[in-house]
Structure formats: structure tokens, C-alpha cells
Structure 1
Amino acid sequence: MNKALALALLRVSLGGLLLAWGLDKIVNTEHGLAVSDKFYGGLLSVASLMPMLGVIQGLLGLLVIVGWQRRWVYPIQLVVNSLTLLAVFGSVIDPLGWYLEGTNLLFYPSLIVFAASLVVMAFRTQDRYALDTVRQSVTGAA
């Protein structure tokens, strides 16, 4: 497989995940509140705030999908995915719940999403299908 195509698929997948979680906060505010309460200590558990957070997360996902402003968007994505990884870290170090209670194998992929975020950042210049790259090659813009 071509590296640029693989990076594009990885970028679209990561952005799609952010978009899906953003939409969930907009259309299912109660679920967003429950996730905030359980995994983030209720830090953002304000019903009126959930849709706004969903819009921001959804826009971030769209920017990742199309590959626009990756120099700034990828680090923001990494922070979001890092927070998620930290929130479910028990499930990463003990996904089968052998030593820690309340862990869940379904949260282990948070580590993979975090690693994928690092990969798209590291190989950003080699993603030829991102809007930034296409625009630069067409216009010669920096």
C-alpha cells in the first residue's frame, strides 16, 4: 500500500472518530454528560455546554478529515486523544480486569488512537492527499 494513501486513511479515521463523538454530544446530551461524569470527574458536566463542546469537537474532526491547518489541528487532536487515554488508562494497563476493577477491553483502542495521532503528526509532510498539501501544490502557497 502507498504510504500517502495509508496516512490519508488514518487521518480520515481519526477525524471521523472526533466527528462522531462531537455529534454524540450534540444529539445525545445525556450520554455526553454521563461520559463526562464517569470518565472526566464531571469536569464538563453542564448540559448547556455539551452541544457547544460537540460543535467544537465536530469541527476539529472535520478539519482532521480534510487535512486543513494540520500544523495546528494535529496537536489539538493529540491533546483531546491524550485526555481520553488518561481517562481510561486503567483499561489500557489492565484491559481484562485481572488486577483493576471497572476496566473494559473496549477502551484499549484509546492507546491505538493516541499512537495514530502521533503517526499522522510525525508523517504530516508525507500525506499528499491532505487539503493543506493539495492547496500548496496547486497555489504554491507556503
Structure 2
Amino acid sequence: MNSVLIKPASLAFLRVSLGILMIFWGLDKLVNAAHSLWVANNYYLSLFATAELQHILGVIQIVLGLLVVAGLGRRYAYPVLLVVTGITLLSVWKSIIDPWGWYLEGAKVLYHPSLIIFAGACVLLAFRADDTVALDTRFAKG
């Protein structure tokens, strides 16, 4: 692969992957209210722990995911993505520090990738200008 194409292709792949994840998280809030309420109660201090609020957050998260996938409004979508993934990271902090739960009760290795997801959002924000195949870059040129 041409080295000139590696960076934009990699950023596009990361953008689409993280956007799809946001869409899945949003859909879960819409179609599986019991699960999203369980998550809110167990990881987010019971904030927004009503089905109605979970549905609203689900719609917002789906819209965010679609914007990220398409590469539209990245100036605003990426900081929001960073906040969403950062809040998720903070909510599972025990799993980041002690993935196997050897010292911190409730830690799970399954949640450790939240650190990687947050890092990916950081990369998208830091290298936003290098994602030359995003739609808002295409619209700015023409």
C-alpha cells in the first residue's frame, strides 16, 4: 500500500469503527431498555436511569455515530465522541487499573478496551486534518 494512503485509510477505518460502535451503543439504549438501565444503575451512578432518558440518549448516540462514520461535523462530533468515550472510560476505571479484579472488586477484563476506544477517539481528534476522505473534507474542497 502506498505510504501516502496509509494514514487517511487508517483514520477512515478508525472513524468508521468508532462511529459504528456509537451506533450500536445507541441502538442498545433503544431496543434493550432493561440492559441500558442496568448499565446506568451499575456504572453511571444511576444518572439518566429512566427508559425515556435512555431512549433520548440512544437517539443522540446514533446521530453522533452516523456523523462520525460519515466524517461530517468532525469539528464538533469528535469532541463529543471524546466526552462520551471518556465518560465510559471513567465509569469502568477499576477495569483499567486492575482488569482481572485481583485487587479491585467489580473489575472485568472485558471492559479494559474502553481505554483503547478512548485512545482511538483521541487519535481521531488529534489527526482530524489528515482524514482526507471524510465527507466534510470533501465538501470543503468543492
Q: Which residues of structure 1 form unaligned runs of 5+? A: none
1:131 aligns with 2:135: yes
Paired residue total: 138
Aligned twin of 1:91: 95
Aligned twin of 1:106: 110
Q: AA paired with 2:63?
A: L
Aligned twin of 1:28: 32
Aligned twin of 2:13: 9
Aligned twin of 2:74: 70
Q: AA paired with 2:36?
A: G
Aligned twin of 1:119: 123
Distance in structure 2 (CA, Å) of the matches to 1:51 and 1:82: 21
1:82 aligns with 2:99: no
TM-score (normalised: structure 1): 0.95
SS at match of 1:48: helix
Distance in structure 1 (CA, Å) of the matches to 2:99 and 2:54: 28
**CA deviation string 1:99-122 (max 9, x = no partner):** 111110010000000011010111
Distance in structure 2 (CA, Å) of the matches to 1:79 and 1:49: 18
**CA deviation string 1:86-141 (max 9, x = no partner):** 0001000000111111110010000000011010111100101101111112x2xx
Q: Which residues of structure 2 form unaligned runs of 5+? A: none
Q: Which runs of 4+ in 1 moved over 2 A?
A: none
TM-score (normalised: structure 2): 0.95
Q: CA RMSD in A?
A: 0.8
